[in-house]
Chains A and B, each alone.
Chain A
Amino acid sequence: MRARPSGVLIAPLLAAWLLTPTAAAAYTVYVTNEKDNTVSIIDSTKLEVVKTVKVGQRPRGIILSKDGKWLLICASDDNNIQVFDARTMEFVKNLPSGPDPELFVLHPSGNPLYVANEDDNLITVVDIETDRVLAEIPVGVEPEGMGITPDGKLLVNTSETTNMAHFIDTATNMTIDNVLVDSRPRVAEFTADGAQLWVSAEIGGTVTVIDPKTRKIIGKIGFEIPGVNQDAIQPVGVRITKDGKRAFVALGPANRVAVIDTATLKVERYLLVGQRVWQLGFTPDEKLLFTTNGTSNDVSVIDVEKLRVLRSIKVGRYPWGVAVAPF
């Protein structure tokens, strides 16, 4: 900011300045606050919390149904998944999930839902229409990250203590392969074309890129930030742009988001965000990226094109997951 105008003028000017990159569309951003048992709802044009809603205990993973009607939340300490009307935030129903659900992924067709049960070494497959458990798939110790190919044929789960990406055939619900990655894998993310799988390893401090067809490791990305202890670099959330050109990786207590050129697997830049950054979420137009910063109780907003952090928004205590609706 240059010379400051009078206080009365700051707010509209700031709003105008912030609006420039986002003028296109207004979206609704949902953030689970793990410690508050609430969801903060952010308006993507105002970039402020417009509503805070009470949900189940220890809300973590959060996604929208493919038709955008429902908001699904892992209420980890209630051992279920809560379904809310995404527009009104009225409670719709609970889905069975198996114990301690943490992260989940929907089949690209919209159903079923695959849930990682961190406490039970299982993936639970749930029909979200009929509320029935369709199958349980045994995986490694402390399953967490969940990814699925765009054609829905291959499901991937990462297990935090087993340190593997488990490849599961969704037709048979059987594990077809297991790829060893570095310590404590947290998130599994496919590129939009399904050609690559990215797996973050929180304690290992790396991201492993795997070819899902051959299950061979294509590359491994390490991180180095001047002035930041190597131990503090703990990759968790991974998001890749739809054109497959850029990846964003949240680095936990390093308080940075790494921007990676997917062609070279090199880090282009580190963006300073809030403390202990874990999960990431794009707006549907991919102009903004929201980060959940657990220890500083806020969400950072990144301008994806300019690779700049626009601002941070105070939310509840220990923000964990983030989802963005196309309205």
Chain B
Amino acid sequence: MQESAIDLLHRRSARGMSLRYALVAAALAGGLGFAAAAPNQPAPRSSATGDVQRIAIVLAREVRDAPPPLSLLDVPPADDGIAGARLAINDNNTTGRFLKQEFTLAVVENGDVGELIAQVKKNVESGAAFVVADVGPQAIVGLAHALKDLGALIFNAGSGDDRLREQDCRPNVVHTAASRAMLADALAQYLVWKQWRRWFLVHGTQPDDEAFAAALRRAAKRFGVKIVEERPFRHEGGSRRADGGHEQIQQQIPTFTQNVPAYDVLMVADEGGLFGEYFPYRSWDARPVAGTQGLVPTSWHPALEQWGATQFQNRFRRLANRPMRQLDYDVWIAIRSIGEAATRARSAEPAGMIAHLKSADFDLAAFKGRKLTYRAWDGQLRQPILIATAKLPVTVSPQPGFLHQFSELDTLGIDKPETTCRAYAR
């Protein structure tokens, strides 16, 4: 029974994808995309004069094979990120009605990075100056190179890889996805505030797991945390599930977590979600679990209701018929940033919009209780990070007492004096 449920979800995802291709094709043919605002709302007279300004946006998705998550609840929806894009396009167009600006979205998906880049480039050459990317680090670098002379701006909404903000930073890439360093710092600040300063770190052996573990080590060093022990967890591939399973996990995890020096929190680094969920309630010592599972740092939570987020969540649910996920939010921010730049520049001319977006005058209200801006040294979006359980946000970092000369948000992630990014330097 369970197996067929998973299969069903996968099939649905595949079907959703072909349907989307059809939509995209239709949109391109009609030159409309998701431009339509709510149809029951006639456009009021606008103070702007002249023709409608059009701003075309491409959402690029690298289709990646990932093993199914441990929990059926965590199977990503087929429109993960795309629904966030549609909401942002609607929001932009509601504002655009008053300024005679129209935003359109084309979704490009491909499993082959080379083909994906070629498709995006074609769109950019035919007038789309803004690319929102839900792709891996390699594809970001590839896109940046392919588009470098075309005056386009790429929003990295899908990768937290710190190298993209550091040695692989590019002047035509900004990042709405929080970096691993930001996430790790945000979590560390809260654990330090709790006085949970002794960590036992369990990390997977995939490169992404190692990278998150490295971010945790960096955060530990910055905020005075002691990692008392590290253990790699070798996940054995094969079937995610057999008929049975808890019997063995119940034995395995306590054994694995035995004989660790005294610690306060068990930290897991498992970005692939292959084993981290096995640790809560199963460790040898009764300790909370945090990191990629358990208590997690995230840019968005479907139960966030502060700072006017309720209306935003409702709007999303009406559109997508599901809760908003982190990727939806990171994509939404990217497209809203484009909208905000067009509004403030009162222009659809990309160079002016990009200049405004990167200037000190830019800010975005995005349901985080303070303005979001882009860092001038690596293009990373500054934003508060939520620390949450599966059900509820627990707190938001930066935590009280973590001070900064310019912006407390810069206590999260790689700060100006530390950056090795040179592409942004004047």
Contact = CB atoms under 8 A, between A and B. Distances in A.
Interface of A: 100, 118-119, 121, 138, 140-142, 159-164, 166, 174-178, 180, 183-184, 202-205, 215, 229, 231-232, 234, 253
B49 interface: no
Interface string B310-341: 01001100000000000000000000100010
A183 B364 contact: yes
What DSSP secondary structure best describes chain A's contact surface? loop
B41 A229 contact: no
Interface in B83-100: 91, 94-95, 98-99
B28 to A, nearest CB: 26
A202 B370 CA distance: 8
B95 A161 contact: yes
B95 A119 contact: no
Question: What is the size category of the interface that chain B forms with chain A?
Answer: 20 to 34
A141 B363 contact: no
A80 B364 CA distance: 31
A164 B371 CA distance: 17
Contacts of A215: 47
A161 B365 contact: yes
B98 A160 contact: no
Interface centre among B41, B42, B46, B343 (most CB of A within 10 A): B41
B41 A163 contact: no
A174 B42 CA distance: 11
A138 B45 contact: no
B309 to A, nearest CB: 11
A162 B94 contact: yes
Contacts of B371: 183, 203-205, 231
B382 to A, nearest CB: 10
Interface of B: 38, 41-42, 44-47, 91, 94-95, 98-99, 308, 311, 314-315, 336, 340, 343-344, 363-365, 369-371, 407-409
Nearest to A203: B365
18 contacts: A118-B311, A138-B41, A138-B42, A140-B95, A140-B98, A142-B308, A160-B308, A161-B336, A163-B340, A163-B343, A177-B47, A183-B365, A202-B365, A204-B363, A204-B365, A231-B370, A231-B409, A253-B369
B370 A203 contact: yes
A178 B311 contact: no
Contacts of B98: 140, 162, 164, 166, 175, 178
Contacts of A166: 44, 98
Contacts of B38: 121
A174 B44 contact: yes
